[in-house]
Structure formats: structure tokens, C-alpha cells
């Protein structure tokens, strides 16, 4: 289907009529454009797509075909990537796993490590117990130490859960080598949807100091993983990616030698703008003087990002006309299932359709079957 921009309302309505609602529409032309922009703006950085943002084999295949690598954070995601690339010859597939997949969850259970070991993957760690666990259950893995860096101003904070203190970093690198393991590099994460570019500046400065101390102590490392956090353009208040790229390129040139491999873990940036949700009005009521609409999708499904990801996805109507601030709810019997308390909408009737754009990241991925309501059907459109 040859659509080079987000689907028009005519296309959205036609797809909804053909497939029913709720319908989650993923545009692979947009996905390719996002990947191309990332590479154009950050030519030194290899993009490892964070699979958890939208773990779909169709997305993985498109990104693989365009040259992406992959960041996985569970054995399920690792298997998903592996199954998607299993058509490769065994040697090429193994090389791809070694060079193009990083298991970036610092905490891994024993069964996961034992399954991963045969593939000799890159895995992150941030504490001495993880070193002992990896030594016992995945001794063939390459290690990447994750350090704690500022997350101020990021929409989703991660530093309270993961990351070694920078002052302890080289001791943890030494401990891994002493255990007979090989530390390949260093990583950090500034927090998801980072709106404070200074987080990256501080994180890169800390990383440069750790790498220098490690080399001085006899542990030269070959790669730096600058994590994710690259902001998706949800609205006009989000700082432009080109501005962040300008800051990053300057700091990478200033702080690190050309031979150091740089990788990143963009998830939201890659997929947020690729998807549109179409839902149906299944109920309406007036409560305390406010119009209330009920959709066949909600917080337990595609709008999960409202709760888990601190995102708002404006609800748009296909109808035109005067608007009033309305409440919008999902279909379940839970008051938590509230999409918005103040959405400007025209007068809608049962059976009318609405849509939300830029809903591709951390949305359908968190959908459940709560209260017996299934996740939205997924349709992939691709101009190739």
C-alpha cells in the first residue's frame, strides 16, 4: 500500500471498515524514514532498536532490512528477533547475534542466561552479584557495564532502578575480568523521552572519565552504548531531534577517539510516529454536566501509555463541528480506565469513529485481555 505519510482520514476509515475496530495501523514507510533520520543525524552511532517499544516481527524485519541492530530486554524479545532472522545461514546468524544484538536489561534470571550463553551475546550488568551469575550461567557472554547517570527532566526515570555509581565502575570492570569474563564496553540511559539534553552531556562526560580510568588500569574498552531517551515529536513542545543530534555529535567528537564503537537504543523515536489507532464510540452519557464518551479501546489496551508511559494521545474525531470538553473512557468496568477528562470533541454518536496518532511506542505492547476485552487488531501498511 503506497502511503508515504501517516494515513489520511479517508484511508483510516476505509481500513476500519475493512478490518473493524479497535484497529492499530502501523506505517512502515514512516518507520523507514525514522531509521534513516536517526542515521543521517548521528552518522557515528549504530541504532539498536529497543524491541520492547513495539515487539512485532513485522517491525523487526523492516528495521533489520534497513540495517538496524536490536536491543532486547527479555528472553522473549531475544527469541522474537532470532525467529525473525532465522532465515540467515547459521554462521551469518551467529555473527549477527554477536555484533547486532545487545541484551540490555542489567538483571537477568539464571534460565535466561543459560539459554543466551550459546549465542555469546552482549549483556549488561551493574553489580557484583550479576557478575557471579553471568560467570556461572553465561561465561561466553561479552559484558557491558551500565552506569547511573542523571535522568532529570526525562518523562520516564530509570536511574533509581539501574546503573552502577560512576565511582565504582572501574572496580566492577576489574571484578568481571578477575572472574574470567570479558567487558566489552560501557552503557548508560538518560531516561525515556529525555527533554533535558544536558542529561546526555553529563552522561557522556562521566563515561569518558570511566573509560579513561579503565584504560589507565589496564582495561581498555571498545564500545560505548549511549542508551535511549531520544524524544519522539508528539507535539510542538518537544525539542527537535536535530538539536539533540547536534549536541551529541559535538560531545562524541570532543570526548571519544574515532575507533571507539558507539551504539544507541532508540525505541520510542523509531516507532512512536508510525502508528495510528482507530476506535469506536460504544457509549455516551452526561455526568455532572460533562459529556462522556466510551470507546472500545482504553487504558488496559492501546492507551496503556497514558498510565504506564506518562503520555497523552489526543483523541480526534472524523466529524467536524463545534467542540466541547468531554471525558473519554475505555470499555472496562474499572474507573482507572480513563483516557482523558478534557478532550475537545464535537457531538459524537454511537458507532462514530475516532482516532489517535503517534501512538506506536509502549502502547499496543502493553495491551492486556483485562475484563475480557482483546487488544486492538494490528494492520501493517507498507509502500515498500
Give yes or no: residues 316 and 292 share one domain.
yes
Q: Residue 7 domain-assigned?
A: no
The mean predicted confidence, pLDDT, of the chain is: 92
Residue-level pLDDT at 272: 96
Q: How many CB atoms lie within 10 A of CB 321?
A: 9
Residue 52 sits in a domain whose CATH number is 3.20.20.10
Look up the domain containing 186 and give its range: 29-271
- The x, y and z cell numbers of residue 383, run together, are 509502500
Give yes or no: residues 229 and 285 share one domain.
no
Spell out the residues 6+ positions from residue 188 whose beta carbon is closer than 8 angstroms to its own: 146, 147, 148, 149, 163, 203, 206, 207, 225, 226, 227
Residue-level pLDDT at 99: 76
Residue-level pLDDT at 107: 94
Q: Residue 13 domain-assigned?
A: no
- Determine the average pLDDT of the residues in 10-32: 96
- Say which range, 77-86, 102-111, 251-260, has the weakest mean pLDDT: 77-86
Where does the pLDDT of residue 89 fall: very low under 50, low under 70, confident under 90, or very high at 90 and above?
Answer: confident
Residue-level pLDDT at 152: 67
Residue 363 sits in a domain whose CATH number is 2.40.37.10
Q: Which of 232, 248, 271 is the last residue of a domain?
A: 271
Q: Residue 346 domain-assigned?
A: yes
Q: Which of 239, 271, 303 is the last residue of a domain?
A: 271
Q: Residue 14 domain-assigned?
A: no
Number of domains the chain is built from: 2
What residue has cell string 502502547? 363
Q: Residue 182 domain-assigned?
A: yes
Separation between Cα atoms, residue 174 and residue 153, nearest integer Å: 33
Give yes or no: residues 253 and 298 share one domain.
no
User: In this model, does residue 4 exceed pLDDT 70?
Assistant: no
What residue has cell string 497523552? 312
Give yes or no: residues 332 and 258 share one domain.
no
Residue-level pLDDT at 345: 98
Q: Residue 229 domain-assigned?
A: yes
Give yes or no: residues 249 and 302 share one domain.
no
Give yes or no: residues 249 and 349 share one domain.
no
Q: Residue 204 domain-assigned?
A: yes
Give yes or no: residues 84 and 225 share one domain.
yes
Give yes or no: residues 54 and 202 share one domain.
yes
- The x, y and z cell numbers of residue 44, run together, are 557515528
Give yes or no: residues 258 and 323 share one domain.
no
User: In this model, does residue 98 exceed pLDDT 80?
Assistant: no
Separation between Cα atoms, residue 321 and residue 293, nearest integer Å: 17
Task: Identify the CA nearest to 149 among candidates 235, 215, 104, 208.
Answer: 208
- Say which range, 73-77, 309-313, 345-349, has the weakest mean pLDDT: 309-313
Give yes or no: residues 261 and 279 share one domain.
no
Q: What is the pLDDT of residues 108-166, one digit of tens each?
A: 999 999 999 999 989 999 999 999 999 999 999 999 999 998 666 556 555 667 889 99
Q: What is the pLDDT of residues 38-55, one digit of tens each?
A: 999 999 999 999 999 999
CA distance readout (Å), 79 to 57, 60, 99, 125, 143 = 11, 12, 16, 20, 20
Catalytic residue numbers? 333
Amino acid at each position: 500500500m503506497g502511503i508515504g505519510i501517516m494515513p489520511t482520514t479517508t484511508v483510516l476509515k476505509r481500513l476500519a471498515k475493512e478490518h473493524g475496530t479497535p484497529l492499530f495501523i502501523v506505517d512502515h514507510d514512516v518507520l523507514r524514514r525514522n531509521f534513516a533520520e536517526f542515521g543521517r543525524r548521528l552518522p557515528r552511532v549504530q541504532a539498536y532498536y529497543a524491541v520492547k517499544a513495539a515487539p512485532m516481527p513485522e517491525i523487526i524485519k523492516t528495521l533489520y532490512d534497513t540495517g538496524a541492530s536490536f536491543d532486547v530486554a527479555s528472553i522473549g524479545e531475544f527469541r522474537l528477533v532470532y525467529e525473525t532472522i532465522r532465515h540467515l545461514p547459521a554462521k551469518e546468524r551467529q555473527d549477527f547475534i554477536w555484533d547486532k544484538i545487545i541484551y540490555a536489561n542489567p538483571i537477568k534470571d539464571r534460565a535466561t542466561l543459560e539459554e543466551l550463553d550459546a549465542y555469546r551475546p552482549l549483556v549488561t550488568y551493574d553489580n557484583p552479584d550479576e557478575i557471579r551469575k553471568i560467570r556461572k550461567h553465561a561465561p561466553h557472554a561479552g559484558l557491558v557495564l551500565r552506569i547511573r547517570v542523571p535522568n532529570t527532566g526525562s518523562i520516564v526515570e530509570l536511574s533509581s532502578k539501574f546503573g552502577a555509581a560512576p565511582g565504582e565502575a572501574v572496580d566492577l570492570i576489574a571484578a568481571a575480568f578477575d572472574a574470567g569474563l570479558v567487558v566489552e564496553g560501557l552503557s548508560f540511559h538518560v531516561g525515556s523521552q529525555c527533554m533535558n539534553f544536558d542529561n546526555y552531556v553529563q552522561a557522556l562526560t562521566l563515561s569518558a572519565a570511566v573509560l579513561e580510568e579503565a584504560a589507565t588500569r589496564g582495561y581498555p574498552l571498545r564500545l560505548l552504548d549511549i542508551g535511549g531517551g531520544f524524544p519522539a515529536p508528539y507535539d510542538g513542545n518537544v525539542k527537535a531531534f536535530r538539536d539533540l543530534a547536534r549536541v551529541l555529535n559535538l560531545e562524541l567528537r570532543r570526548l571519544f577517539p574515532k575507533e571507539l564503537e558507539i551504539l544507541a537504543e532508540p525505541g520510542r523515536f523509531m516507532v512512536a510516529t508510525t502508528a495510528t489507532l482507530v476506535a469506536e464510540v460504544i457509549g455516551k452519557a452526561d455526568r455532572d454536566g460533562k459529556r462522556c464518551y466510551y470507546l472500545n479501546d482504553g487504558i488496559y489496551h492501546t492507551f496503556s501509555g497514558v498510565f504506564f508511559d506518562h503520555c497523552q494521545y489526543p483523541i480526534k474525531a472524523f466529524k467536524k463541528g463545534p467542540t466541547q470538553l468531554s471525558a473519554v473512557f475505555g470499555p472496562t468496568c474499572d474507573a482507572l480506565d480513563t483516557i482523558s477528562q478534557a478532550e475537545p470533541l464535537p457531538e459524537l454518536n454511537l458507532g462514530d469513529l475516532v482516532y489517535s496518532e503517534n501512538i506506536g511506542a509502549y502502547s499496543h505492547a502493553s495491551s492486556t485481555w483485562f475484563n475480557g476485552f482483546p487488544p486492538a487488531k494490528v494492520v501493517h501498511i507498507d509502500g515498500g
